[in-house]
Structure 1
Amino acid sequence: RFVRELVALKRAAGPAPLLWAPRVALPGRLALLHALGIDLLDTTEGLLRAAEGYWVWAEGQPDLSAPGGAPTEELSRRLLHVEEEYAREEERVRRFLKGGRLRELVEARLPFEPALGEVLRYAEGEGYPFLEEHAPVVGSGIHPYGTKEAQYRPEMERFRRRFLSRYRAPPGKELLLLVPCSKTKPYSRSPSHRRILRTLSEGGRLPAIHVVSLTSPLGAVPQELERVFPAAHYDIPVTGNWDGEERIWVLNALRHLVGGHAYQGIFVHLPREEMDWV
């Protein structure tokens, strides 16, 4: 309900008015609340927790023990501590926001309060259209997508959805070649992809071959899209193990690709563990 009401309020008010949400913020919640479009937050909840005897942290649950195991400090020390925690976290939010990396800070705070993960999942479900409107469409450099939650970032979901709804293979492509992705971005700059492309070019058939990289969390990235955002700007842990959802993303992309173009043949150049299910 929180996400539903928040999205409705933001849509009704438009981008100009500042949205204030009193007594919902703890230091570790600031990144997510700002990412959801809340502009003004206060320190009331943290101060109340401090008055109850708790030490409040951006990285961790409020607890009753003093820092370093020292005796419990007096109330004024706890109040000063929580104000400083808010200030430090707000500075982090501004820094990450300026660098276009606020989502990374959001994900870093999720393990410390499970309720944050619940709110984020609802936002990515019911609130996806709103989040997608404010998600980046261009990028620079390489950004880490190291957590499971990162796979559902709006820019990733946007790519998957638009591939299935908009993408068509270029005319003149007679053969489909499926290859693994690479850590190097764009893929064609990696040593393995360069060898493949060089061999195809020497054979004189490269213009007729459609090279498509299979990858998580995007599903499939045709060579002509490998320099667009976010395909050219993500980095994920590579284990060789694909979970069920990652396989679904790939298989959905392949069904769309093959069903929408009359390839004369399909060639698969993938690791053995991927050959078993592709």
Structure 2
Amino acid sequence: MGALGRTVVGRNRYARIIGLGDRRSPCVHTPCIVKIDGDPDIHQSIAPFSFFRDGSISPANLTLETLIEEMDISSPPKIIKWQTSEGQHLPPELSEADSGKLGGDDNFLVVSWQTLHHDSRLMNDSLAPDIVILVDAPQLISTGQIFLEAVTTLRERFPSSLLWAPGISGPDNAALLSWFGLDLFDCARARSAASAGYRLTMNGPRPMDEDENANIWVRDWEDSLRFIRSSIKTGNLRELVESQVLNSPRSVEHLRRHDTLLKGRKSILASHVSQDRRFRFISSSSRNDPLVHDWKIRVSDQYTPPSHCQSVLLLLPCSERKPYRESQSHRRFSRHIPFTCVDQVMVTSPLGLVPRSLEDFWPAAHYDIPVTGDWDSDEITMIHDMVQSLVDRIGYQVIINHSGIDLNSIKGDLELIDTRKNSTAGSPEALERLESTISDVVKRLEIRGPKGHRHRLEMYRSASRFLYGNDTWLSDVKIEGRPPRWRIEKEGKQIAQWHPRAGRFAFSKSCLNILHDGNVLPRIHLVPDVEWKGDIFVSIIESYPDGIREGDDILVMQNSILIGSARAVAPGWEWKGSPGKVARSHHRIG
């Protein structure tokens, strides 16, 4: 048997575009279709596999093969064929019974909900099949929760494998299934719908017109796969998913359950993204996104304001333009905030609160949401809870509320001052009240705030604590240069630069030992004696920490010695065996 070439060329959490064939020039990409017996002609660019089930014997024999020789990276390339037994699987409700017959082999793994509980092969860390089939997917998907648990378990357990759940996909839910982590689909549902006189489109089923060809659903599949691939590339697959799930209550249920399942999992998220990446919150489902949950938890539990801003909390409304400081409304606010010793925090939905020192970060600087000025009860409750968490943890003495939201329910030994008084935030009278209130409070509390670079440095310390958990690397530094990319220097040498558009610190090579000594960045360890050339691949990694996010800066160690740094291009769940690089090399020492 040949060798199926695989490399990740695009990713959006669990959804990936995997190039098949030569790593530098793949001949076809996932997500794609597996042709089954009876399918019409489908172009190989979207259907590069074929599948046959021989049920004349028991257990049935399964055959899967490639349709393009160049998918094989061995020499000479040839059609790859996988053949294995289907096994005998008990229904999901009998998952506790350790009986039946296992299916599949090391290259073509066949699993069910029952065998996920009892197949000892799954405990073998070296097991890395080319293809994994979840054979009882049609039964599992009707239950919702255990289907999602099965797919998520398989996706994280086998990051290098192509995952297929036969019999459940169609143009109407392929984006959702790709979001869950499936790579391969089939046309069984689309063919079944066509035989009943319905066309299964990206927006759900509809009666087929009399003048439509019986196989017109092939076009719907082609359009769906192209939309999915494009959305993965741009990082907007969630937006496509949310628009499509509305065609089916079951799909809405699955998305909600999936969001709940993934809450608290850091290893699927990104810490930094490209400048042009947008996160569009187009429906109430967006509030359940694990990214939103992660932001709310981190701000509530981990954010600490600059040291001189811990007495007065100033709540401001958000703006359509991001980052907020570049909007006209926030430029007006800044002219009426005469002191730096107030902690400016923006009130928004669905993120809840965005502190000024974090406004350049993902997703705060990248989200779009329809602005109506109205707040529903869930949004108000979320904001109240986050403000209360900050008050309890930071210990503000005064809250100056210019957000327009009623916060009288906030508890604590503090003073709450409303500067809006039912006026618009930018009205002359409201701005005058804002300025006079800040001046009075600062004078009464006898607090002061540094200006210029001293204030900027404290803002960077706050950002560093949020990103890395500490700010030790910023001890005894100075800020030099010109805005917006200020240089951070230590003992006359540049150790970092702030990149506001990227929302990150760019560390120089001279900073690596400082970061190492301060235990600032996560560390990965390379296999001893391997020569580090190029980027970071799974094959040269000896160990890595849990919770790596896409975009994280990482220190590279070998034989317990710091040898350089890298930047994660894959989230933590892929580091077990992703086909392709998981980090891009940055600096090297020595």
Q: Secondary structure at the match of 1:260?
A: helix
Higher relative contact order, chain-length normalized (CA < 8 Å, sep 6+): 1
Shift of 1:129: 4.6
Q: Secondary structure at the match of 1:168?
A: coil
Shift of 1:262: 3.0
Aligned pair partner of 2:271 in 133, 137, 148: 137
Shift of 1:20: 0.9
Superposition pairs of residues 105-254 of structure 1, within 5 angstroms: 105-129=240-264, 133-139=267-273, 140-141=275-276, 142-173=278-309, 174-200=311-337, 203=338, 205-206=339-340, 208-254=341-387
If the length of structure 2 is used for normalisation, what is the TM-score? Answer: 0.42
Q: Residue 172 of structure 2 corresponds to which residue in structure 1?
A: 28
Q: Does 1:7 align with 2:152?
A: yes
Unpaired runs of 5+ residues, structure 2, are: 1-145, 410-590
Letter in 1 for 2:329: S
Aligned pair partner of 2:189 in 26, 38, 45: 45
Equivalent residue pairs, number: 261
Aligned pair partner of 1:275 in 383, 391, 406: 406
Q: CA–CA distance in 1 between the matches of 2:267 and 2:187?
A: 29
Say if 2:316 and 2:345, in contact at 8 Å, map to a contact too: yes
Partner deviation per Cα, 1:119-148 (whole Å, 9 max, x = no partner):
001101123355x53233323334321211
Shift of 1:254: 0.5
Q: Which has the higher strand share?
A: 2
Q: Which has the higher helix share?
A: 1
Larger radius of gyration: 2
Q: CA–CA distance in 1 between the matches of 2:178 and 2:162?
A: 11
Partner deviation per Cα, 1:146-193 (whole Å, 9 max, x = no partner):
211122222211101212231222211132111111111111111121
Q: Residue 64 of structure 1 corresponds to which residue in structure 2?
A: 207
Distance verdict in 2 for CA 1:64–1:265, change over 3 Å: closer
Say if 1:26 and 1:43, in contact at 8 Å, map to a contact too: yes
Letter in 2 for 1:275: D
Q: Secondary structure at the match of 2:162?
A: coil
Say if 1:32 and 1:106, in contact at 8 Å, map to a contact too: yes
Say if 1:54 and 1:78, in contact at 8 Å, map to a contact too: no
Partner deviation per Cα, 1:23-45 (whole Å, 9 max, x = no partner):
11010111000010011111121
Unpaired runs of 5+ residues, structure 1, are: none
Please give the root-mean-square deviation of Cα atoms over the aligned residues, in Å. Answer: 1.9
* Segment drifting more, 2-11 vs 225-234: 2-11
Say if 1:3 and 1:127, in contact at 8 Å, map to a contact too: no
Shift of 1:65: 3.9
Q: Residue 162 of structure 2 corresponds to which residue in structure 1?
A: 18
Q: CA–CA distance in 1 between the matches of 2:255 and 2:331?
A: 39
Distance verdict in 2 for CA 1:65–1:277, change over 3 Å: farther
Q: CA–CA distance in 1 between the matches of 2:198 and 2:241?
A: 23
Letter in 1 for 2:182: I
Q: Secondary structure at the match of 2:400?
A: strand
Q: CA–CA distance in 1 between the matches of 2:286 and 2:155?
A: 24
